[in-house]
Structure 1
Amino acid sequence: MMTEPVKNLQQKSYPSAFDSAPVEPETASADVFGASSSLPQAGAAGEKSQDERSLGSSAFERGSVGEESSAEPDSFESSPFEPNPDTGQAPALTTALPVISVVVPEKDRLQGVQPATYPSADHTTAIPKISRGERRRNHRWVPTSLKSFVHADQSLTKPMRGMARLAQKQFAVASQQRRDREEYVREKEQAREILNFSLRLSETMFHYGADTVDVDSAIVSVCAAYGLDDIEIDITNQSVIINYVSDIDQINVKTQMMRTVSDSDAPGRQEKKEERFSHTVMRVVRSWSENYAALDDIYKLIYDITTRGLSMPRAERRLLQINEAKKPYSPLLIMLANIMTAFGLTMGLGGSLAAGIAAGLVFLAIHFVNQLIARLNLPSFFNMAAGAGVVTFTAIYISDPESIFASIGVNVAAAHIVAAGLIMMLPTSRLVSSVQDALNGFPLTAAGKVVSTGMSFLGIVVGLASAVMVLGMIGTAELNIEETVFDPANVWVHWIFMMIACVATGMTFQARWKTLLWVALISSCGIWTYNLILLVLGADSSRAATAGAALVIGLASTYLAYRLHAPAAIFFVPGLTFLLPGLSIFRGLYMFTVETNFNSTGVPGMVTAVGIVVSMASGVVLGSYIMQNIIQRVLRPRRNSASGFTETQSIQVLDR
C-alpha cells in the first residue's frame, strides 16, 4: 500500500474511472515518453524510497510536496526538497491520449510511485489501449456535427487570443506541435527581452518583403514558443505594436512551485509574490529591401524557434548574421537579370526579336536614370515617372517610321516594349499584398498599401503623358492605339520566354538558385493552366484564366513553403509576372491620358486591368487557404503518424 498523502494527492489531482480491477503486485504504467513499464508496489506506510523522494521533488510535478503536506492540490507550502536543476528538457504534457506501448530495457524503466502528470488510479492494473479504428469511430464527423448543431454554441463567449486565433497559419501549425515545450517562469525583464526580440524579428520580416499575415502569425508563434502566450498585436501599415499582460494566477502558481524555500534553509524568509505586469513595445518600419534570400533565412529561423526549440540567445545571433550577410548577386548580375526580364516579357507578349533586343537596351537606359534618382533620395513617385517616361519616349521614337532606327531597317512595335517596361515597373508584390491584407483582415494596412501603390501608378501615368508631350514637340507621330494589333505569341514561345522572365524576376529579388528552379516549375504550371482555360473558355475569358492560373500558383507556392520552411511569397511573386496585364494597362493609360478617350477604350481598358490584378491576387489567396487546410487536415496527420509522433513525446531542445 502506498502512503496516504501520496494516495490522496493522486486521487484528487487525476480522478480515474477505472477502479474495478484489484491491485496486482506490479502495476503497469507509462514512462515519460508513453512507453509501458512495470512499477513495483509501494512499501509499507511511513516508508519512502529514494525514487519516491526524487519524484516528489521534481519541478515538473504539480503535486510535489512533502509527506506532511496538505492533500489540497491548490495549496503550495514550503517543501524540504529543492527542485531539480533545469536539464534543458521540455516537461511532459499532461494528456489523456492513448498510449502506444513499446518494449523498454530493464535499466530504463521508471521505478517508484507513478508520476502524477499522467492519468492514474489506485485500482488500475493497466492503462487501457485504444486502437486507431476505435478512436476514429469515437470521433466521427457526422455525429459531432449534429451534436454541435443541436447544442448551444459556446465558442465565442470569450475573445480568442494567442495561438487560438491563428487558423491554419504556417507558424501556428509548427508551434502547436510543440505542446510539451518547457514551462518558463516569466519575470519582467525576461518578458521584455522576448518582446523586443519578436519586434526586431517582425521589423526584419517587413523590411525584406514579408506579408502582413505572416508577420502577425510569426510574432504570436515565437512569443508562444518562449512562454508568452496571450499577446496582442496591432499592425497598421508601417507600425507594429505588441502588448503583453501577465496572468497573475499562473505566475503565482509557477513561482510557488519553482521557488519554494524551506524554513530550515532560510528561516524568516517570505516567499515573494509575483504581481501582474504589462509591456508594450512598438516599432515603425521605414525602409524596404526585397531580399528573398534573407527572407528565406528568417523563415527557417522561425521554424527552428517554434518547432526545434532554438534558444533565444542563439536566435538573436542568427538574426544578426542574417542582417549582416551579403546579398547573393552583385549589381551587375541584377542589371543583366533586368535586361533578360525585359527581353523575355517582350518576346512572350508577341514582340519580334528586334523588339526584344530594343526592350533590353531601353531598360539599360532606365537603369542608369534610376541610379541617378536614387542618389538624390527622391521618393518612388519620381522613380516611376522617370522610368515610364524613358520607356515610352524610347519605344515610340524607335517605332516611328521617320526615325533614325527605321532608316537602318529596325522596325519594332512600340506597344510590346512599353508593355514589358510597365510590367517591370509595376510594384507586383505590393499589388498582391494589398489585396491579401484586405482579404486577411488588415483593412488599414491594405488601405495604406493601396495609397502608396496608387501614387506609384500615378507616377507611371505622369511619365507616360510627359513622354508623349515631348514626342509631339519634336514632331514624332502619335501612336494610334486603336489600330494597333496585339497578336499573341505562339504557345511554346509564350511558355519559354515567360518562364525565363519569371526566373529573371526572381533573380532581381535576390532569390537563391534553388528557389529560382522552383519558380520555373511553378510559373510553368501557371502558364499552361492559363493557356488551357483560354483554349476551353475562349479568348474573352482572360480574367477567369488569370484567376485559375493564380489559384494553381497559390496552391503550389503554399505547399512548397510548408515543405521547405520558406515564405510562399518568394515563389508566387515572381511566378505571377506573366499574368500582369501590361498591354491592358498601356492601352488604357494611353487612351485615358493622351487621347482623353474616356468612353470607348480608356476607362474599360483600365477596369479590365484592375479586374485582372484583383483576380490574380484573390486567386493566390484562395489557393493559399485551400492548401493550408489540406496541410492541416490531411498531410500533417499522415506525416506525424508515419514518423511515430505523439503529443506526449518530448522534443529535444537545442542548446538550452
Structure 2
Amino acid sequence: MPAQSPPGEGQPVIGSFGDPEIFRTLDLALRIGELLLSSGAGAADVRAQMDNVAYACGLRGYSVDVTFTELAMSHQSTPEQPALIQIRNVRHREVDYEDLTLVDHLVRDLVVGRIDRDQAATRLNRIVSSGHARPKWAVTLGLGAMGGGVGLVLGGDLVVVLIAFIAVVGVDLLQRRMTRNRIPTFYQQVAGGLLATLLAVGVDAVGLPVARSTVITAGIILLLAGVSFLGAIQDALTGFPLTAGARILEAIIATAGVIGGVSGGLQLARVVGLPLGTLDPGVITYGDVALMGLGGAITAAAYAYSSYAPYRALLPVAVIGAAAVLVYRLMFDRGFGVAWASGVAALVVGLVSFSVAGRARVPALVVVTAAIVPLLPGLSIYRGLALLSDGGSTGLLAMVTAAAIAIALSSGVILGEYIAQPLKREARKLETRLAGPRLVGPLTARASSPTRRRRSRRTSP
C-alpha cells in the first residue's frame, strides 16, 4: 500500500464491504489502541489515535469505542450493507513508557505519510515482540531509588531513606515472584503492605530513632495506586465515565489491599509482643525545602526510569518533579490548603510538560505522570481509606480530602495541557478549535474536530 498523505489531502479512501484493506486497517488501529491503553494512556487519547490511524489509512464511515477492558471498531460502507465489527480485549496492564513512546512515533509517521499501513504494522510487530534493553534488576534498583526519594520528600533523614530503599526493593521482588505465580493484584498488595509493616516492626525492635509512620508510608509508596487516578479523572473529564469508574474502582481495591496488609502486620506485631502503638497512616511531614526538591527530582526520575522511559527524558522529568514539589511547598506555606496547593503544582506540571515532552521526543503522558508522583497522589487515598476503616468522622473527612486532592491533581494537569497545546507550533492552525488534551499521539485536525469527523462520515461512500 503506498504511503499515505496527511489527513484530508487526497489519500485513497477504502470502504467496500469485504475489502481486506478494511480488515487490515481495523486490526492495526485496534492493536495500537490496545498497546496504548495497556501502557497507561487515557481513553480519550486511545480513541483519538485509533481515529488518526484509520483516517490516515483511508478508511471512512467508521466508529471507535473504548472501555476499560475492551476496544471495538465498526465500519459500514453503505446503509444497505451490514456493519463490520472488530473487538479486542485488553487484559495485560503494565506501565511501559518505552513502548508508549515508540507507538507514539509510529502514529506520527503514519499520519504525516512517512510510512504506509504495512510498514506501520511491521514496526508495531517489532515493538510488541521486542523485550526491554533495561534489565529487571536495574528496574528494581530504580524503584528503590524512588522509595528513597519519597523518604526525602517526607522529611526523613538518611536512615529513613535507606530503609525506604530496602522496603521498596523487597516489595518489588515479592510482587515479581507473585506475578510469576499468577496471584491476583489484590493479594500482591496485601503481601506488600505486610512486608513493609514487618520491616517497620524490625526497625522499631532494634531501636533506630525513626518515625514508624514515616517508615511504613515510604515502604508502601510503590503499592499506592494513586497514579491511576490521573487517568481516571482525565477519562471522567473527557467523556468516558464508565472507564473512569472502572479505573477508580481498581485503584480503591488495590489501596484496600495495602491497608489490609498493613493492618495484618500491626496485628502480628502485637501477637509476638512488638506492638508499634498508635500510628498516623499516610502522614506527611515537611522538612528542609531543598531536600524536598531533591527528593522530588529523584522520585520523578526514578519512577520514569523504572517505567522504561527513554534516557533523554529523565533529566527533564527530574527538573519538573522538583519544581512541582517546590511549588506545592510554596503554596502550602502561604496558607493555601492541600488541595489548592496540589492543583497549582499540577497546573505548572501540565503547562511545562507539553513543550518539554516535544523537545525530549516522548509523549506528554510520560513527563506528566512521572512529575506527579512526588506529589504522592496515592498517599491521600491510602490515608482516607485507613482512617475510614477505623470508623468515626475523621475517616470520612479524610476521604473527602483525598478525593479533592486527586481531582485537583488530575484537573490541574489537564487544564495545563488545555492551555499549553494551542501554543505549540503545529497546533496554531487549530487554535480556534481548542482540542481535548492529548497526552499521547499527534494533535491533528482529524483528532481535534468532532464536526469535521461527523461531516466526513456523512460524505463517505
- TM-score norm. by structure 1 comes to 0.61
- Which whole-Å CA distance do the structure 2 matches of 1:240 and 1:613 have between them? 27
- Which residue is 1:55 aligned to? none
- Which whole-Å CA distance do the structure 2 matches of 1:199 and 1:293 have between them? 19
CA shift in 2, pair 1:89/1:344, >3 Å: closer
For residue 460 of structure 1, what is the amino acid of its counterpart?
A: V
- Which whole-Å CA distance do the structure 1 matches of 2:277 and 2:29 have between them? 54
Which whole-Å deviations, capped at 9, do the CAs of 1:555-592 have from their partners, x for residues lacking one? 22233445556322111111111111566556545544
Which whole-Å deviations, capped at 9, do the CAs of 1:178-237 have from their partners, x for residues lacking one? 431423354422112211111111112222222211110011111111111332111121
Which whole-Å deviations, capped at 9, do the CAs of 1:6-56 have from their partners, x for residues lacking one? xxxxxxxxxxxxxxxxxxxxxxxxxxxxxxxxxxxxxxxxxxxxxxxxxxx
CA shift in 2, pair 1:391/1:482, >3 Å: closer
Relative to its length, the structure with more helix (as a share) is 2
Which whole-Å deviations, capped at 9, do the CAs of 1:359-413 have from their partners, x for residues lacking one? 22222332332233223211100011111111122214413xxx2x21xxx2211
Q: Return the match for 1:630 from 423, 427, 432.
A: 423
SS in 2 for 1:620: helix
- Which whole-Å CA distance do the structure 2 matches of 1:213 and 1:521 have between them? 28
Q: Which moved more, 1:227-236 or 1:313-322?
A: 227-236
Which whole-Å deviations, capped at 9, do the CAs of 1:159-184 have from their partners, x for residues lacking one? xxxxxxxxxxxxxxxx6xx4314233
1:618 aligns with 2:420: no
- Which residue is 2:76 aligned to? 245
| Structure 2 gaps, min length 5 | 432-444, 446-461
Report how far residue 612 of structure 1 moved.
1.3
- Which residue is 2:438 aligned to? none
CA shift in 2, pair 1:396/1:306, >3 Å: same
Q: Say whether the 8 Å CA contact 2:4–2:112 is kept in structure 1.
A: no
- Which whole-Å CA distance do the structure 2 matches of 1:88 and 1:457 have between them? 47
SS in 2 for 1:488: coil
- Which residue is 1:580 aligned to? 376
Q: Say whether the 8 Å CA contact 1:523–1:576 is kept in structure 2.
A: yes
1:411 aligns with 2:411: no
Query: Over aligned residues, Cα RMSD in angstroms?
Result: 2.7
- Which whole-Å CA distance do the structure 2 matches of 1:484 and 1:430 have between them? 18
- Which residue is 1:569 aligned to? 365
- Which whole-Å CA distance do the structure 2 matches of 1:506 and 1:88 have between them? 34
- Which residue is 1:59 aligned to? none
For residue 367 of structure 1, what is the amino acid of its counterpart?
A: D
Report how far residue 87 of structure 1 moved.
8.8
Report how far residue 476 of structure 1 moved.
1.8
Q: Return the match for 2:260 from 462, 473, 481.
A: 462
CA shift in 2, pair 1:200/1:449, >3 Å: same
CA shift in 2, pair 1:246/1:637, >3 Å: closer
Which whole-Å deviations, capped at 9, do the CAs of 1:583-616 have from their partners, x for residues lacking one? 65565455444xx3523x3332333223212211
CA shift in 2, pair 1:354/1:624, >3 Å: same
- Which residue is 1:135 aligned to? none
Larger relative contact order (CA 8 Å, sep ≥ 6): 2
CA shift in 2, pair 1:451/1:191, >3 Å: same
Q: Say whether the 8 Å CA contact 1:592–1:598 is kept in structure 2.
A: yes
For residue 190 of structure 1, what is the amino acid of its counterpart?
A: E
CA shift in 2, pair 1:485/1:623, >3 Å: closer
Q: Say whether the 8 Å CA contact 2:197–2:265 is kept in structure 1.
A: yes
CA shift in 2, pair 1:394/1:347, >3 Å: same
Report how far residue 328 of structure 1 moved.
3.2
Q: Return the match for 2:304 from 495, 502, 506.
A: 506
SS in 1 for 2:209: coil
For residue 184 of structure 1, what is the amino acid of its counterpart?
A: V
For residue 614 of structure 1, what is the amino acid of its counterpart?
A: I
Matches within 5 A, 1:351-370: 351-370=156-175
For residue 282 of structure 1, what is the amino acid of its counterpart?
A: I
- Which residue is 1:391 aligned to? 196
For residue 221 of structure 1, what is the amino acid of its counterpart?
A: N
Q: Return the match for 1:324 from 114, 122, 129.
A: 129
Q: Return the match for 2:221 from 423, 440, 443.
A: 423
- Which residue is 1:598 aligned to? 392
SS in 1 for 2:86: strand
Q: Say whether the 8 Å CA contact 1:207–1:285 is kept in structure 2.
A: yes
Q: Say whether the 8 Å CA contact 1:395–1:418 is kept in structure 2.
A: yes
Overall identity of the aligned pairs, in %: 26
Matches within 5 A, 1:178-189: 178-187=7-16, 188-189=19-20
Matches within 5 A, 1:260-271: none
Report how far residue 331 of structure 1 moved.
0.9
Report how far residue 478 of structure 1 moved.
3.4
Q: Say whether the 8 Å CA contact 1:419–1:586 is kept in structure 2.
A: no
- Which whole-Å CA distance do the structure 2 matches of 1:494 and 1:319 have between them? 40
- Which whole-Å CA distance do the structure 2 matches of 1:448 and 1:87 have between them? 40
CA shift in 2, pair 1:625/1:351, >3 Å: same
Q: Which moved more, 1:229-238 or 1:375-384?
A: 229-238
- Which residue is 2:30 aligned to? 199
For residue 606 of structure 1, what is the amino acid of its counterpart?
A: M
For residue 388 of structure 1, what is the amino acid of its counterpart?
A: G
- Which whole-Å CA distance do the structure 2 matches of 1:88 and 1:587 have between them? 53
- Which residue is 1:433 aligned to? 231
Report how far residue 529 of structure 1 moved.
2.1
For residue 573 of structure 1, what is the amino acid of its counterpart?
A: T
- TM-score norm. by structure 2 comes to 0.86
- Which whole-Å CA distance do the structure 1 matches of 2:281 and 2:112 have between them? 60
For residue 212 of structure 1, what is the amino acid of its counterpart?
A: A
Report how far residue 636 of structure 1 moved.
5.0
- Which residue is 2:449 aligned to? none
Report how far residue 289 of structure 1 moved.
2.0
- Which whole-Å CA distance do the structure 1 matches of 2:257 and 2:338 have between them? 27
Q: Say whether the 8 Å CA contact 1:529–1:548 is kept in structure 2.
A: yes
Which whole-Å deviations, capped at 9, do the CAs of 1:129-159 have from their partners, x for residues lacking one? xxxxxxxxxxxxxxxxxxxxxxxxxxxxxxx
Which whole-Å deviations, capped at 9, do the CAs of 1:44-82 have from their partners, x for residues lacking one? xxxxxxxxxxxxxxxxxxxxxxxxxxxxxxxxxxxxxxx
Q: Which moved more, 1:501-510 or 1:370-379?
A: 370-379
Q: Return the match for 1:214 from 17, 20, 45.
A: 45
- Which whole-Å CA distance do the structure 2 matches of 1:485 and 1:597 have between them? 18
Q: Say whether the 8 Å CA contact 2:4–2:116 is kept in structure 1.
A: no
SS in 1 for 2:63: strand
Q: Return the match for 1:496 from 277, 287, 294.
A: 294
Report how far residue 467 of structure 1 moved.
1.0
Matches within 5 A, 1:64-75: none
